[in-house]
Amino acid sequence: MDEVIKGFLNRNVPQFADKIEIKLTGVKKDNYCVTCKDETVFITANNYVSAFSGFYDYLKKYCRVQLSWCGNREIKIDKLVMFDGELKKEIVQRYRVYLNYCTFNYTMSWWNFDKWEKEIDFMAMNGINMPLCIVGTEAVWYNTLLEFGFTKEEALSTVSGPAFWAWHLMTNIDSYIPPKDESYITERLELGRKILNRYLEFGMQPIQHGFSGHVPMKLKEKYPNSNILAKNGWCNYPKTAQIDPLDPLFHEVGMVYLKNLEKLFGNHHFLACDPFHEGTPPKRWSFYLKAVGKAINKLYEDFDKKSVWVMQGWTPRKQIIKAVPKERLLILDLSSDRTPKFKNFYGYFVVAGMLHNFGGKNAMQGKIRHHCDNAYKQLKERGANIIGSGMFMEGVEQNPVVYDLQFNMLTESDKIDFSDWLDDYIERRYGKYSSILRKAWDLMIETCYSDNGYEENEVGSTLASRPQPMPVMTGPCCYAKVWYDTKKLEKALSLFVSVCDKFKDSDGYQYDLCDLARQVLSNRFHDNQIEFSKSYKSKNLTEIKKIADKQLDLLLDLDELVSHRSEMCLSRWICDSHKLATSEEERKYFDKNARTLITLWGDINGDCSYLYDYSWREWSGLIKEYYYVRWQMFYNEAITHLENGTRLNIATGNNYLERKRYRSTEFGKLLNEFELSWCNTYSEYDYPVDTDVIPSVLKVVEKWNIQK
């Protein structure tokens, strides 16, 4: 048996590996055909990805498998189900692209190769053939700077930390929480090579990170006569630098970077970069932006005549795009909404994407019915030059229903019937179908997964927001409000609980029950805080004390509830960071990175970045250690002021998207001192394990009088 196929089968269905035969035809069109005979499954496909996609489609259709990051994390089947006829498919999307730069940090910062190996298998099973490949590029940056006169210490100091490297590559930051030891560069390089090699073994087309002219400001000291321009700081971070594309140094540095990339990882032709991503160019003139586009294209073409520039269509600039020949540019429309706004991207090749999640936050949300309409089909019908589908969420490991659907849509060329799909999902997710669970899901589709009343990705959390009488926003892009009838979602929870005896052995059920109960309690916190705000305005001291006690009690119950699922534990995030480290010093360094990303995001120039609480998580440990303490401090402050008849002076953050400068008040300074202290705390945790969540759910349902 082919070693690649043998390895894949032994990792995923070892007990049936000798009963699955896969034959590759090598034809150009992506397709597979699955048949059964003599207790053996036969798969014929043009390549590995098509074969593994056919394998998983067979498991879904006939063995009723649902594989996920959240519950059902392993394939568990008792037998290979035989069937008559053929299960076949031709995949029309040339490219099925996967991963946002941000995913590498909001979710994957602490993944070792064992975790990556499972993920790459999962990619292939879902038909992905073009993954982003950026792990280990620290070494490319580092080696390039050494060639331009940087000492090892200087070059290392410009490398942003393991939880922030994605934004470094996107030109937003550099030198943020840098490593202290050169060995870190080697570790990332080794991991990145393993990931890339597995992509290549599977026949995937990796997207590598290219060069856009982004350099450390210190390069100006080395080359004082070169035109190195300061860009405006991103989200209150220090300014970064851009080499003027008309300066010869642009091409010189870029070529050294690309040759280092080729030396360390090989050249695989698709090179990504996004000049001025979410930022302001040092010059806004049309001719300057056009020059940027021409300079990057010339650099790539001089390096490799077969190269293709891959650009995120997130903050596109017409002048840059149109400076590049159409056959040399591929645009990833991360959420499929930019293509119509930019005149179908002027006829350039486009991948229709789904974004869904900002920051890895774990609210139950997603416009599921909307995704069934198939953005690939819609944009193609509108005349766009659509060449593929993609998934570009900033964080995964949440909302498994959304991703199960969207993975399915990657290789679909038409709309799908949502109701039929949901029935199928329920049976695969929980091991058997239940009309009661379908009723619960119908209520969830009416509420947290509805298509109306909110913008996808803008869902926040009141309990994870910086405290005030009634928070407006959590992160800078998500609102601390609930846009649906919370009692309907409580009814869904009651329906879920009513069948707990029948589904207690289902891992998918256990996760979803926990997640649904988490969302219900989070909504209760929101509703209670509205009442607190009203009582504070009316100066009802007795009532606000009562509500404050209730809120703190609820937070502790919520922390205990989600502790039963490892996917919702801070300890997993921290332990994974510790396990990836190779020394005690590095463990502490990774620990700080891990804590900072999901809370403050950063603290610079004597003030907090605009991004605090952007990557909030309603996780066990984080609720008790961080959110609970902030709310306890707030309630004590509010009650003290009311008792003393003084004015409560609360500000919630920076003057950005309604976020005032929170450190402008004495209480804000105290709050920030706690937050900084927590980010700088090093703690050892036990790795969490999954346990039966049903007793905890029954307890909170009774205690908090969840509506039936």
H, E, C per residue of 256-276: HHHHHHHHHHCCCCEEECCCC
Three-state SS at 607: strand
Query: Which residues lie across from 20 on neighbouring strands?
Result: 41
Q: What is the overall mean pLDDT for the chain?
A: 95
pTM of this prediction? 0.97
Cα–Cα distance for residue pair 179/156, rounded to 1 Å: 7
Specify the DSSP class assigned to residue 612: T
Predicted local confidence at residue 85, as pLDDT = 97
AA identity, residue 443: L
Q: What's residue 506's pLDDT?
A: 98
Which residues fall within 8 angstroms of residue 279, CB to CB, at 6 or more apart?
171, 172, 231, 232, 234, 240, 315
Per-residue model confidence as pLDDT tens digits over 299-343: 999 999 999 999 999 999 999 999 999 999 999 999 999 999 999
User: Which residues, at least 6 apart from 305, have a Cβ–Cβ distance to it below 8 Å?
Assistant: none
Question: Average pLDDT for residues 226-234, to the nearest whole number?
Answer: 90
How many Cα atoms within 13 Å fall on the side-chain side of residue 679? Answer: 20
Kindly tell me if the per-residue pLDDT of 653 is higher than 70: no
Return the sign of the alpha-carbon dihedral for residues 557, 561, 563, 569.
negative
Within 8 A by CB and 6+ apart from 471, the residues are 460, 462, 465, 480, 529, 652
What pLDDT does residue 429 have? 98
CA dist 307 and 267 (Å) reads: 9
What integer pLDDT is reported at residue 606 of this predicted model? 58
Q: What 3-state class would DSSP assign to 620? A: strand
**Would the pLDDT of 662 be above 80?**
no
Q: 311: which residues sit within 8 A by CB, 6+ positions away?
A: 272, 273, 274, 321, 329, 330, 331, 332
Q: Do residues 34 and 41 make contact, with C-beta atoms less than 8 angstroms apart?
A: yes
CA distance 218 to 232: 16
Q: Residue 659's pLDDT is what?
A: 66
> Across residues 464-481, what is the average pLDDT?
92
**pLDDT beyond 90 at 268:** yes
Say which range, 257-261, 619-623, 704-708, has the weakest mean pLDDT: 704-708
* 16: CB partners within 8 A, 6+ apart: 9, 77, 80
Does the pLDDT of residue 191 top 90, yes or no?
Answer: yes
**pLDDT tens digits, one per residue of 423-468:** 999 999 999 999 999 999 999 999 999 998 888 889 999 999 999 9
Q: What is the pLDDT of residue 660?
A: 67
Q: Where are the alpha helices (DSSP H) in 242-396?
A: 248-265, 286-303, 318-322, 338-341, 368-372, 375-381
Residue 117 pLDDT exceeds 70: yes
Share of the chain above pLDDT 90, in %: 90
Bridge-partner residues for 22, per DSSP? 43
Classify residue 461 as exposed, middle or buried by CB count within 10 Å of its CB (0-12, 13-18, 19+).
buried
Helix (H) or strand (E) holding 472: none
| DSSP structural state of residue 80 | P
How many other CB atoms are there within 10 angstroms of residue 114's CB atom? 8
d(CA 306, CA 304): 5
DSSP letters of 537-601? HTT-HHHHHHHHHHHHHHHHHHHHHHTT-GGGBHHHHHHHHHHH-SSHHHHHHHHHHHHHHTTTS
Say which amino acid occupies 38.
D
Q: What is the mean pLDDT of residues 263-288?
A: 92
Tens-place pLDDT, residues 127-147: 999 999 999 999 999 999 999
CA distance 295 to 441: 52
| Residue 658 clears pLDDT 80, i.e. is over it | no
Name the pLDDT band for 657 (thresholds 50, 70, 90): low
Q: Where are the alpha helices (DSSP H) in 75-182?
A: 103-106, 113-125, 138-146, 152-157, 165-169
User: Quick one: pLDDT band at residue 367, thresholds 50, 70, 90?
Assistant: very high
Position 279 pLDDT exceeds 90: no
Average pLDDT (31-35) is 98
- For 512-571, write each residue's pLDDT tens digit: 999 999 999 999 999 999 999 999 999 999 999 999 999 999 999 999 999 999 999 999
pLDDT band at 282 (very low <50, low <70, confident <90, very high): confident
CA geometry: angle 131, 328, 389, nearest 5 deg: 35
